[in-house]
Amino acid sequence: MRNISILLLILVIASNLLADEKAREIVKKANDKFRGKSSYSEARLTVIKPNWTRSLTMKIWALEPDYALILITKPACDKGTVTLKRKREVWNWIPTIRRLIKIPPSMMMQSWMGSDFTNDDLVRESSMVDDYFHKIIGQENINGYDCFVIESDPKPDAGVVWGKIISWISKKDFLFLKSEYYDEDVQLVKTMFASKIKKMDDRVIPTHLELVPANKPGQKTILEYIKIDFNININPSFFSQQNMKRVR
């Protein structure tokens, strides 16, 4: 009887490990598909608040996972503003005052360009794939797409911002269609909705992202991708403080 109990316990553990590995593989496929190894994109960011709306357009160069450069092209008052990410550091170039400003750790959770995205969202110090334990907790249909519902809990030694993330990832094409972000007290902070599935370069991805804060009624930020080229030829040297001042 004891041997049978031990065997059953081993089978349960093995089954859980296989399920967790499947969940991790789903998250990895979705993450790799949306980011690629490198990319160039053009996008429109719209910040909607109860009393006003603001839009800007931008160009984004990225070399995953350590480098990103964002150039604001419109409106005129913000044109030429650049945000640079180099590994765990974030810098802003403000052309109107000709100043290069390093974002200190104390401001990483502050709003980026008045939006619901934070400076930490740009840095993405943590790895969605490797810094969390993943498990499938259900299945659900989102806008006609059958999805895995995956809960991601931070590993004990991971320096992550979120206390939990719940993701809805389509079974077909492995697309992030919805993500809920919770703080350390497991209170919902914000929800990301992804839609307008289109072919961009060599893959099909959501091109319309809505980030909705949980405790700010009538407020949200919309990020719309106009163009994306994946796996471009770009070097780390492109992501320099000197290039912030001359990129166009």
Cα four-point dihedral sign 183, 164, 218, 194: positive
Q: What's the DSSP call for residue 118?
A: B
Predicted local distance difference test score (pLDDT) of residue 126: 59
Q: Are 175 and 169 in contact (CB under 8 A)?
A: yes
Q: What's the DSSP call for residue 15?
A: H
> CB-based contacts of 7: which residues, under 8 Å, 6+ apart?
none
Predicted local distance difference test score (pLDDT) of residue 207: 97
Lookup: tokens for 52: 């006003």
Lookup: tokens for 179: 């993500």
What is the CB neighbour count within 10 angstroms for residue 51? 6
| List of long-range contacts for 161-165, beta carbons under 8 Å, 24+ apart | 161/109, 161/120, 161/126, 162/189, 165/128, 165/132
Residue located via tokens 């109860």: 50
Predicted local distance difference test score (pLDDT) of residue 35: 82
CA 140, chain centre distance (Å): 21
Predicted local distance difference test score (pLDDT) of residue 100: 94
Predicted local distance difference test score (pLDDT) of residue 224: 97
The full set of domain ranges for the chain reads 21-244
Residue numbers of the chain with a pLDDT score lower than 70: 1-19, 123-126
Residue 248 to residue 235: CA distance in whole angstroms = 17
Predicted local distance difference test score (pLDDT) of residue 19: 54
Lookup: tokens for 164: 């939990």
Interval 79-128: pLDDT, tens? 999 999 998 889 999 999 999 999 887 887 888 988 999 887 776 655 78
CATH value of 21-244 in 2.50.20.10, 1.10.150.130, 3.90.920.10, 3.30.450.30: 2.50.20.10
Exposed / middle / buried, residue 192 (Cβ in 10 Å: 0-12, 13-18, 19+): buried
Q: Are 116 and 213 in contact (CB under 8 A)?
A: yes
Terminal-to-terminal C-alpha distance of the chain: 73
Q: Where are the beta strands (DSSP E) in the chain?
A: 38-49, 52-63, 67-74, 82-86, 89-94, 99-102, 132-142, 145-154, 164-170, 176-182, 188-200, 203-213, 220-230
3-state secondary structure of 32: helix
Give the max Cα distance, the chain. Answer: 78
